[in-house]
Amino acid sequence: MRFLLQKVAFYVVALWAALTLNFFLPRWMPGNPVDMMLSKLAQKGPVSPEARSAIELLLGTNSSAPIWEQYFDYLGKVFAGDFGVSVAYFPASVGDVIGRTLPWTIGLIGIATVISFVLGIVLGQLAGWKRGSWLDNFIPVTTMFQSVPYFWLALILLFFFGSMWRLFPLNGGYDVYTTSPGLDWDFIGSVLYYGALPALTIVISSVGGWMLGMRNMMVSTLSEDYILTAEAKGLKPRRIMTTYAARNAVLPSVAGFAISLGFVVAGSIVTEVVFSYPGIGSALLQAVSSNDYSLMQGIFLVITLSVLGANLLVDLLYTLIDPRTRARA
Amino acid sequence: MTISEETQARADRATTARAHPVLTVDDFSVEYRGERVVQAVRNVSLELGRGEILGLAGESGCGKSTLAYGINRLLKPPAMITSGGAHFHSREGYSIDLGELHGEDLRAFRWDKISMVFQGAMNSLNPVINIRAQLEDIFTTHRPEMSKKERREKCAELLERVGVDRSRLLSYPHELSGGMRQRVMIAMAMALDPQIMIMDEPTTALDVVVQREILREITRLRAELGFAVIFITHDLPLLLEISDRIAIMREGEIVELRDAVDLYTDPQHPYTKKLLASFPSLTGARGSFVRGHAQDRNEEVS
Amino acid sequence: MTTTTQDPALAAGAATAVSRRVTLPPMTPKLAAGLLLGGAITLFGLLGPLFVGNPSTVNNIGLSGPGNGFILGTTQTGQDVFAQLAYATRGSLTIGLIVGVLTLFLSAFFGIVGAYAGGWLDESFSLFSNVMLVIPGLPLIIIISSYVPDKSILLVALVLAITGWAGSARVLRGFTLSLRNRDYVAAARVSGEKPWRVLGVEILPNLIPLLASQAVFAVIFAILGEAGLSFLGLGASGSFTWGTMLYYAQNGLALRLGAWWWFVPPGLLIALFGAALSLINFSIDEIINPKLRNQTRATRKKWNLSKSQLKQVVKEDEL
């Protein structure tokens, strides 16, 4: 229990750090983001006083209020979910834009990461078990895929499967012409079809890393004493491979999930751009090109929150699969 | 029973046991064929009597563990058995050539007739599953006809037999002390009622009090169930207390193999003499009757 | 019982002798391939620009494939793709190098020093590293980059380093903690060696393989990160890197127009260089973790077993 509280406390600290970073960043940067944004907004129509004050709070201000007061007002606004109005998607509020795009990204990354993880772990387990076999020489090939930049792989896949052999669509999240959002099979099928290539990109790029890590840990674990005991006990090889070896070897992969998730998030942002997938990554890029700073801030916070949440979940999962952690605290 | 009667009973047991050996090892040799070829075991021959405790002593690296692993076919390449073999003679009357077992036969044979207790139970138990699971999987593998209820009951019984409360069944290895873990290892080794138990330094990592308890358990269980034990250790005084016979190994060869009492009182080989002399002399206050008694006998004779 | 008191200097000396044995990776096919590939690309980046023409000169030829004196064809403004590739290699490798070095220093500082010092310093450094690790990197980089429209290569490298050191720091810290508790370190401390000396002489040499492996990771991360940034249009302006080439290729609709000579080479070089570094990392891994060494095919070949005996071994491994 105490371990749990420690973990949650850590994530609260991390969230606070992200919020604070978000607050000070625009104030440290050269140039005046507030003015830039206000002028952009003004091109779309008159700027209401609420919009103005929201932007000033989020980005830094010409007002004379002391910095601590601004900071707490900012926190208040953030917790109320008010990030102001978006320039790139005017007149939608930042909250609206995020609400529209976030589910797509979470769906895509979520599914792709799970597939990638499971595939990588299973393959790594087999590769590590058959130590010194041909599978060993297969590993460098998969690591080559690991160093392929996500977006380049995306471009190649798009080229072959989208343009050359017209198997998959070139862009979008679903077929806007024939279906509309809803919980029917048509829509879901369309979503899966459109999401196949982006998901494939993410899976191919990240599976190598999981596989390599698992394989190395399997080889390491197989020289442990309890494996010898299991063999001497006359247990079936399959059971030794799974319950004795893999069960222990998978632990560092789960523990190192945080590092890997960072790469996946980075990769998927770029993948979304290539496929024009209607996710939060595309929205972020749109925001950048329009100097839409409040949208950028909002998106950054939401991505951070999601990543922190995912990490917390994985940490909790880890305490379930490694009984020694419950004693450690 | 007087002390001398006890010693005589021991010697008699040893002789009868040897008439019906449970394991014969002939001209056994093992080489490590790595970049350099190292002869780990050289032409070892011995017989293990039914229900006998055979001590296998020697300094680190003399090949005693390699011999045990070799007999049990647990050697990993580049270690290879280069000559000789081992034969198991079951109490039901048949014999099995341990070198001829392969694949599924070998797997089924394991633990059923010959089991092992490894050194450093620190790491010999799977850290992520609980004790009951590790006891149960012996039964699910070798006795699939048992029902879940029977299995669970047997596991609890096994633990209690080695002196561990059955409430510890759901504990994980890291929650148990070193002594308890070793008892669990012994319980595991006894699960299928084997005819031979090979123990590789089972008490080395434990403190003397716990050591004594474990040794007592082993002798008690042996009396109850009648299995033979090959007890491997570098701790010679310990062997002198519990073994019927002792084999001294050095650089892969057995240099002396005799009854425990005779070995202590009348060592033949110079290496054995050196080994015996290198242990601090005992005052006789602690330790078994053998040592104290032998001291007296020597003084009587001289 | 008599205990011999050892001369503390002797003890420390003996301990140092043991810990100083830094092994070089054994030459395996994987390592050779990695070094060859990486070396070739590095050479291309170093010497290429000296032999090719001007990458920025515009020609009337427009978008064209290989031929007409252009080894890799031209961009949509008639620029020499091969020349651009040479300069881009140099640019990307430069960024890789700078970020690699910066990340090494940052992660070494926060990881090793903190772990060695222990106490509240370790706690706060560790907390800092973990927080930096968990905050998503690319979004942060994107935001920082968007505030500064004109970036030099150095600035891009700096931003990448600041967001990328945390993972290495955590790994280094874990390893240093385990080293700290080893006997020869304790011996050195007990014999009165100054903390800086213990750190530099006892601990650091053992960290070298791990540091090398982390440095290689950092370079891979830097090159991929920069490529991604540039592709999004947020990279170093006015410079040639593999990433900026891909950005221009994408903007020039290279994909739609099927101009493979424009967008395939830069990405391919990224992948190949990354693969080369990974192969090198493999070999370093085998030093760090000797258990990996014993099971490779190469080691098995060195055993004195006959072919049939080896076959038997492989068979016994079957499920």
Percentage of residues of chain C with pLDDT beyond 70: 82
Residue B197 has pLDDT above 90, yes or no: yes
Q: How far is CA C164 from CA A15, C159, C214, C241, in A?
A: 18, 9, 11, 19
Residues 6+ apart with CB under 8 A from A255: A318
pLDDT of B129 > 60? The answer is yes
Say what the pLDDT of residue A179 is.
67
Instruction: Name chain C contacts of A26, Cβ cutoff 8 Å.
Output: 147
Task: Provide the 8-state DSSP code for B110.
Answer: B
Chain A and chain B share a number of CB contacts under 8 A equal to 78
Picking from B123, B126, B130, the nearest residue to A244 by CB comes out as B126
The residue type at C11: A
pLDDT tens digit sequence for B157-187? 989 888 888 898 999 998 888 888 888 998 9
User: Could you read off the pLDDT of A8-42 as tens digits, one per residue?
Assistant: 888 899 888 888 888 888 777 766 777 777 777 77
* Mean predicted confidence (pLDDT) in B248-262: 88
d(CA C91, CA C229): 14
Residues of chain A neighbouring C144 (CB-CB closer than 8 A): 25, 29
Q: How far apart are the first and last CA of chain A?
A: 9
**Chain B contact present for A233, CB below 8 A:** yes
**Given pLDDT bands bounded at 50, 70 and 90, which one contains residue A261?**
confident
Query: Which range among A175-189, B91-105, C188-202 shows the weakest confidence by mean pLDDT?
Result: A175-189
- The answer to whether residue C316 scores a pLDDT higher than 60 is no
Sorted by sequence, the CB contacts under 8 Å of residue B143 that are 6+ apart come out as: B151, B192
Name the residue of chain A whose CA is nearest to B72's CA.
Answer: A232
Of residues C7 and C145, more confidently modeled: C145
**Mind giving me the DSSP string for C59-90?**
-TT-SB-SBTTBTT-B-TT--BHHHHHHHHHH
Tokens of C242: 């593999």
**Which range in A168-182, B280-294, C13-27, C165-179 is most confidently predicted, on average pLDDT?**
C165-179
Query: In the structure, what pLDDT confidence band is assigned to residue C8 with cuts at 50, 70 and 90?
Result: very low
* Inter-residue contact C20 to C202 (CB < 8 Å): no
A150 within 8 A of A205, measured Cβ to Cβ: yes
Respond yes or no on whether ipTM tops 0.90. Answer: no
CB contact under 8 A, C271 and A152: yes
| pLDDT for position B136 | 92
Q: Do the Cβ atoms of B74 and A226 come within 8 Å?
A: no
User: Nearest to residue B71, comparing CAs of B38, B116, B9?
Assistant: B116
Decide if A269 and C139 are in contact by the 8 Å CB cutoff. Answer: yes
pLDDT for residue C17: 38
Q: Find chain C residues with C-beta within 8 A of B100's C-beta.
A: none
The SS3 of residue A176 is coil
Backbone phi, then psi, for B42, in 5-degree steps?
Answer: -120, 115
At position B255, the amino acid (one-letter code) is V
**Bond prior to C195 in cis (omega within 30° of 0):** no
Q: How far is C174 from chain B (nearest CA, A)?
A: 21
SS3 annotation, C176-193: HHHHHCCHHHHHHHHCCC
Question: Chain A to chain C, count of Cβ pairs less than 8 Å apart?
Answer: 179
> Which residue from C minimizes the CA distance to A140?
C279
When mean pLDDT is compared over A314-328, B107-121, B123-137, the highest value belongs to B123-137
Q: Which residues of A touch C107 (CB under 8 A)?
A: none
- Residue B232: predicted pLDDT: 92
**What is the model's pLDDT at position A87?**
73
Q: Are strands B228-233 and B245-250 parallel, antiparallel or unpaired?
A: unpaired
How far is the C-alpha of B138 from the C-alpha of B191, rounded, in Å? 8
Segment A121-146 mean pLDDT: 75
Least confident of A94-108, A176-190, B5-19, C61-75: B5-19
Residue A308 has pLDDT above 80, yes or no: yes
**pLDDT over 60 (residue C14):** no
pLDDT at C18 over 60: no
Q: How far apart are CA C244 and CA C219, in angstroms?
A: 18
8 A C-beta contact, residue C161 and residue C223: no
Q: What is the mean pLDDT of residues B257-264?
A: 86
Chain C residues in contact with A13 (beta carbon < 8 A): 127, 131
- State chain A's mean pLDDT as an integer: 81
B63/B28 Cα distance (integer angstroms)? 12
Flag whether pLDDT at C6 surpasses 60. no
C305 at B interface, C-beta within 8 A: yes
Averaged pLDDT for residues A125-145: 72
Name the band, by pLDDT with cuts 50, 70 and 90, for residue B292.
Answer: very low
C-alpha B29: how far from chain center: 20
Q: Where are the alpha helices (DSSP H) in B85-235?
A: 103-109, 131-142, 148-161, 178-190, 208-225
Beta pairing, strands B53-57 & B79-89:
unpaired
pLDDT band at C20 (very low <50, low <70, confident <90, very high): very low
Distance CA C172, CA C210 (A): 7
Q: To which H or E segment does residue A136 belong?
A: helix A134-146
> Cα separation of A295 and A283, whole Å?
8
Phi, psi of C91 (to 5 degrees): -60, -50
The whole-angstrom separation of Cα A81 and Cα A93 is: 10
pLDDT of A274 above 50: yes
pLDDT, residue C292, reads 66
Q: Can you give the pLDDT at residue B198?
A: 93
Question: Which candidate from A10, A18, A33 shows the least CB-CB separation from C135?
Answer: A18
Position A168 pLDDT exceeds 80: no
Using an 8 Å Cβ cutoff, are C164 and C132 in contact?
no
Residues of chain C with C-beta less than 8 angstroms from the C-beta of B101? none
3-state SS, residue C221: helix
**Pairwise CB contact (< 8 Å): B33 & C303:** yes
- Residue C319 pLDDT exceeds 50: no
pLDDT in the model for residue B285: 45
Residue A276: helix, strand or coil by DSSP? coil
Are residues C153 and C87 in contact, defined by beta-carbon separation less than 8 angstroms?
no
**Cis amide leading into B78 (omega within 30):** yes
Backbone angle region of A4, left / alpha / beta, with phi > 0 → left and psi within -120 to 50 → alpha = alpha
What digits encode the pLDDT tens for the residues B62-83?
Answer: 888 899 999 888 888 788 888 8
| pLDDT surpassing 60 at residue B116 | yes
Comparing alpha-carbon positions, the chain A residue that sits nearest to B134 is A230
Q: Report whether pLDDT(C101) > 90.
A: yes
Chain-wide mean pLDDT for chain C? 78
- What is the per-residue pLDDT for C16? 39
Other CB atoms within a 10 A radius of the CB of residue C4 amount to 5
Cβ contact, residue pair A132, C297, below 8 Å: yes
Laid out side by side, the sheet with B21-33 consists of B37-49, B21-33, B79-89, B95-97
Q: Are C284 and C40 in contact (CB under 8 A)?
A: no
How far A129 CA sits from the closest chain C CA (Å)? 8
Q: What is the dihedral of CA B148, B153, B157, B159, to 10 degrees?
A: 60
Band of pLDDT at residue C202, cut at 50, 70 and 90: confident
Q: Would an 8 Å CB–CB cutoff place C22 in contact with chain B?
A: no
The answer to whether the CB atoms of C146 and A17 lie below 8 A apart is: no
* pLDDT per position as a tens digit, A207-255: 888 888 888 888 888 888 899 999 999 898 888 989 999 999 998 888 8
> For residue C63, what pLDDT is reported?
75
B253 three-class SS: strand
B127 with A324: Cβ contact below 8 A: yes
Nearest-Cα distance to chain A for C119, in Å, is: 17
Which pLDDT belongs to residue B155?
93
Instruction: Report the predicted TM-score, pTM, of the whole model to 2 decimal places.
Output: 0.80
How near does any CA of chain B get to the CA of A217, in Å?
15
How confident is residue C314, by pLDDT bands cut at 50, 70 and 90? low
- Residue A107 · residue A195 · CB < 8 Å: yes
